[in-house]
Chains A and B, each alone.
Chain A
Amino acid sequence: MADQLNHNKSWLEGLWDLLDRHFKLLAVLPAAILLLALTVYPLLELFHMSTLKISFSNAEMVREPAFWDNLTKLFDDWIYRRALVNTLIFVAVSTSVEMVLGFALALAVSELVRGRGLVRTAMLLPILIPPVAIGNIWRLMYNPEFGVINSLLAMVGLPALDLLGSTQTALLAVIIVDVWHWTPLVFLILLAGLEALPDELMEASSIDGASYIQKLVYIIIPLMWPAIMVAFIFRSIVAFKVFDQIFLLTSGGPGTSSEVVSLYVYKVFFQQNQLGYGAMLAIITIAIVCVYLGTFALMQRRMARAK
């Protein structure tokens, strides 16, 4: 009986059965192929490129071995070092300011009984606008002739400042934009964390007569620590990638005063057409990010073990 049933199954049913048996593999395959073709292979290609000098003559690509040239260039490259230092300053300052402001704002909003939805909606604005548009908006706001920032300075009697145009303030100016751009995300993550805290704990500590500061230091911050760490790591990694806004605001200038790693790698690749040396810089940059994340992963494992 069962045999006969199987016999009557159409070949199409059989095909479906076959596909179904291997569904686990078939489902993961497209993602695996995409990742292999567009991330793993390009990374290997990057290593290969870093040993070459690649030039174009008459639209023909010419590859010559140049590993040592690229390596010595790297050691003499003070612009890359400057870009790296600027990036680290940018990441450290913007991330810590965003953490403090975002946490303060989350604490304030969590006290509100009404209006949280409105605040949340408004805070999505900088996160969702294209970063290029943000660069544009702030470029116009910083404009020394008609920008709103100078109008405000003039109102309190201060002289006009060209924040983007001065070597001393360009990096500060792009950090201010980043703080405006990303404090809302830190706020959203930490507010979600605060809302997940058990209410009884908060009320019990109030009844015990703990002051707000005591409550903050002994209860809220320790309970919030995982969310704080996630926001911090996430923000610092995204800050390290910064490209769009600085491209629009200063292009790294004046001079190299706001040059950052991503922007410099782009310039070497596509403006100076040094694809080989650019690959060398890209690999170093990737290595730095991996070491940074690896350190956090190790620390976390050690802390988990200590508990």
Chain B
Amino acid sequence: MVAAPWKTVAVWAFVLFALVLIVAPFLWIVSVSLKYQIQIFMAEFPFDPTWTNYDRVLFAKSSDFLRNLQNSLIVAIVSTAFVLVVGTLAAYSLAWRRWSRLFSAVFLTWTLVFNIIPPITLVGPWYLIFRELGLFNTLTALTMTHIVINLPMTIWLMMSAFGNIPRDLESAAIIDGCRRMTAFRVILLPLAAPGLIASGLLAFIFSWSEFGIALNLTAKETMTIPVAIAAYAGQYEIQHGEMAAASVLSAVPAIVLMFVGQKFIVRGLTAGSMK
């Protein structure tokens, strides 16, 4: 089938226009992050790039950015590890073992309901609970909430990953005298690896980006990067260049994953619509 050449040109023009619209804001913020305040106000272009803003964000005495980075990494890595273990086990149990209809319906409906309600509505009670437990303003509390907000997504993605594995594989192993736990670890888990990677990448990026909960459960020492960036905006004299530099730095994991984990992330994000 040969398409009319004008049609191909029109399609490409439309797609390129959309690409520019999507990418341009990010390139613009990168350019702002490389300018002195005065150059920003003059909207100078072209300009002599400077690393001052990055230097100040990362290494100035008044800046807590490296500590924020450490907090963000701890929370994102630990919560991702936990949610993968907890979510994968639950998904295995629900997808492969026989549960009463009522139990799985209640369990899955509840994860759905919890996933659709705005998380900010639960932050009030979380605040009170963690205060009473003495966990307010700790990374433990924040990590726990991040595990639980990523749990529904992990359970569904892993259930669909386990659902694609033929049943016979496990029953053959069981007949050979293999324990269920061993069959799970040796046979099912490797086959579900793509789903595991997709859930892991998404859980990491969501935890890394999460703002509403971290804003209310952390204080100066436990602040994560998103909260720190929002704090920049509230300063008396806003340093636009530093704000831009901090935003660009916060997007680094996203950009790495965009190129490295693209296939898994697209699969994870679109999984819901393919059922």
Interface residues of B toward A: which range? 35 or more
Taking the closest CB of chain A, its distance from the CB of B217, in whole angstroms, is 10
Q: For the side of the interface on A, what is the size category?
A: 35 or more
B179 and A124 within 8 A (CB)? no
A31 vs B104: C-alpha distance in the bound complex, in angstroms? 13
Prevailing SS type, chain B contact patch: helix
The 6 closest A-B pairs by CB, nearest first: A128-B254, A31-B90, A282-B121, A130-B209, A42-B125, A27-B93
Which residues of chain A have C-beta atoms less than 8 A from B155's C-beta? Answer: 31
Would you call B89 an interface residue if the criterion is a C-beta within 8 Å of the partner chain's C-beta atoms? yes
Q: Which residue of B has the minimal Cβ distance to A46? A: B125
Q: Please name the residue on chain B nearest to A139 by beta carbon.
A: B233
Report if A266-B122 is in contact (Cβ < 8 Å); known contacts: A30-B89, A128-B205, A141-B28.
Answer: no
A289→B118 contact, CB < 8 A? yes
- Please choose the segment from B56-64, B189-197, B244-252 that sits at the chain A interface, where 4 or more of its residues have CB less than 8 A away: B244-252
- 14 A-B residue pairs with Cβ-Cβ distance under 8 Å, sorted by A, are A31-B90, A35-B110, A39-B110, A42-B122, A49-B125, A124-B262, A126-B22, A128-B258, A141-B28, A192-B273, A230-B272, A248-B230, A261-B118, A269-B216
Give the CA-CA distance A202 to B246 in the complex, in Å. Answer: 48
B240→A240 contact, CB < 8 A: no
Q: Is the CB of A133 within 8 A of B266?
A: no
Residues of A within 8 A of B23 (CB): 122, 125
- B123 interfacial by beta-carbon distance below 8 Å: yes
Task: Say yes or no: A31 contacts B244, CB within 8 Å.
Answer: no
Shortest CB-to-CB span from B138 to chain A, Å, is 15
Q: Which of A38, A40, A146, A261 sits near B145, CB closer than 8 Å?
A: A38
- B41 beta carbon closer than 8 Å to chain A: yes
Known: A30-B85, A136-B233, A185-B269. 15 other contacts (CB 8 A): A24-B97, A27-B92, A27-B97, A30-B90, A38-B144, A61-B128, A125-B258, A128-B205, A128-B265, A132-B211, A137-B26, A141-B28, A189-B272, A192-B273, A275-B124
Q: How many A-B residue pairs have CB under 8 A?
A: 286
| B94-134 to A contact mask, C-beta < 8 Å, 1/0 | 10011100000001001111101111111111111101000
**One of B148, B216, B265 near A38 (C-beta < 8 A):** B148
Whether the Cβ atoms of A122 and B22 lie closer than 8 Å is yes
B residues 211-267 with Cβ under 8 Å of A? 211-212, 215-216, 225-226, 229-230, 232-233, 240, 243-244, 246-248, 250-251, 254-255, 257-259, 262, 265-266
- Inter-chain CA distance A283–B117, complex, in Å, is 10
Rounded to whole Å, the gap between the CB of A297 and the closest CB of chain B is 10
Q: What is the distance, in angstroms, from B79's C-beta to the closest C-beta of chain A?
A: 11
- Which residues, 174 to 196 on B, are CB-close (under 8 Å) to A? 179-181, 184
B147, A34: Cβ atoms closer than 8 Å: yes
A28, A39, A266: the one contacting B216 at CB < 8 Å is A266
**Distance between Cα atoms of A27 and B89 in the complex (Å):** 5
CB contact under 8 A between A206 and B1, given known A30-B89, A45-B128, A132-B209: yes
Q: Within 8 Å CB of B112, what residues of A?
A: 293
Shortest beta-carbon distance from B29 to chain A in Å: 5
Closest to B244 in A: A140
Residues of chain A contacted by B87 (CB below 8 angstroms): 31
* CA distance in complex: A136, B225 (Å): 13
Interface-located stretch among A3-11, A15-23, A165-173, A215-223: A15-23
